[in-house]
Amino acid sequence: MYYHSDALKYIKYGKILPYRDDSDWLSVAYKWLGFYCGYYPQVWLSRSQSSLTGFRCSGTIKKSKRSASRRSQIKMHRDVALFGFENIKGFPVDYDIWSSLLNGLINEDFDSNKEQLDKAVSEYLDRHKKWAIEGEYIDEASDLKDWCGDLDAYLNKHLFVEKNQVVVPSLNLKSAKKIICRNDKQKKTLRRMGFIEDRIDVRNVARQKW
């Protein structure tokens, strides 16, 4: 099953589009991905692992000077629902490789073109492989052993493979086969939107810390 979670304020009974925020620190990475999948921004889904959607992230507020400024953000993380889909045809993006390549992209200029961003990713892989060899932690299981300067070959073998994530240009939430929320109030909200009651489950989901 494929999972997608979202804050209730953004959920609607029908097709949703991804949010576009070019000021987001990850926007340049999403833009780079768009050169390959064909669309930017993207809606992300986790394959088989609902934890990758952020649905289980904790809403605990620790005492600090920044607590007050984070309350609205924390509330949004609490007020989310999880949607499960049986059949999704998306563009595959491996979670572990994606998480690594972000390091080579997040400091790049959003206005950079594909060639410039590809160069940044290649240079990151060059550095990363060099450090791995020097640190003697590169082995047969490492994706870096296949990095020889051919970016397309590396991406097709290691990043664009369906393991745990896919991206799509839009998502029809009313086609979800399973919906999980945290309390009866959220369930009533989803029912009022039009979602089928038999597909909505209330669960006391154990939360993980950030």
pLDDT at position 19: 85
Q: At what angle do helices 27-37 and 114-134 cross, to 10 degrees?
A: 110
Q: Dump pLDDT digits (tens) for 66-94.
A: 334 333 443 445 689 999 999 899 999 99
Q: Dump pLDDT digits (tens) for 125-149.
A: 999 999 988 888 877 668 999 999 9
- pTM equals 0.84
Spell out where 98-172 has E strands: 165-168, 171-172
Q: For residues 23 and 32, which has the higher predicted lDDT (pLDDT)?
A: 32
Beta 178-181 vs 200-202: how paired, if at all?
A: parallel
d(CA 29, CA 83): 25
Range in 35-39, 44-48, 54-58, 146-150 with the lowest mean pLDDT: 54-58
- Give the domain ranges of the chain: 1-93+162-210, 95-159
- Which residues, including other chains, have CB under 8 Å from residue 150's CB and lie 6 or more apart? none
One-letter identity of residue 38: G
pLDDT score of 208 more than 70: no
**Residue 66 φ/ψ, nearest 5 degrees:** -95, 0
pLDDT band at residue 59 under the 50/70/90 scheme: very low
Spell out where the chain has E strands: 2-7, 15-16, 43-47, 80-85, 91-92, 165-168, 171-172, 178-181, 200-202
Q: Do 164 and 46 meet the contact criterion of CB atoms below 8 Å apart?
A: yes
104 is written with which tokens? 């080579």
d(CA 75, CA 97): 30
Question: For all residues of the chain together, what is the average pLDDT?
Answer: 86
- Check residue 207 and report its DSSP letter: P
